[in-house]
Amino acid sequence: MKTLGRILIILLAFALVMGITYTVVSAANAASSSIGAPAFERGGEGTPRPEGVRPPNGEGREFRGAGGIRWILGTLKNIGIIAIIVALVLWLKDFMQKRTRDAQQVSE
**C-alpha angle with apex 102: 99 to 104, nearest 5 degrees?**
110
Q: What is the pLDDT along the chain (108 residues), one digit of tens a residue?
A: 788 888 888 888 888 888 888 888 888 777 766 655 554 555 555 556 566 666 555 555 444 555 678 888 888 888 888 888 888 888 998 999 998 888 888 876
pTM of the model: 0.40
**In whole angstroms, how far apart are CA 69 and each of 13, 64, 66?**
21, 11, 5
Residue 24 near residue 15, CB atoms below 8 Å: no
The CA distance from 37 to 34, in Å, is: 6
The number of beta carbons lying within 10 Å of the beta carbon of residue 83 is 15
Task: Return the pLDDT at 103.
Answer: 84
pLDDT of residue 83: 87
Q: What is the CA radius of gyration of the chain?
A: 24
Is-contact 20 27, C-beta < 8 A? no
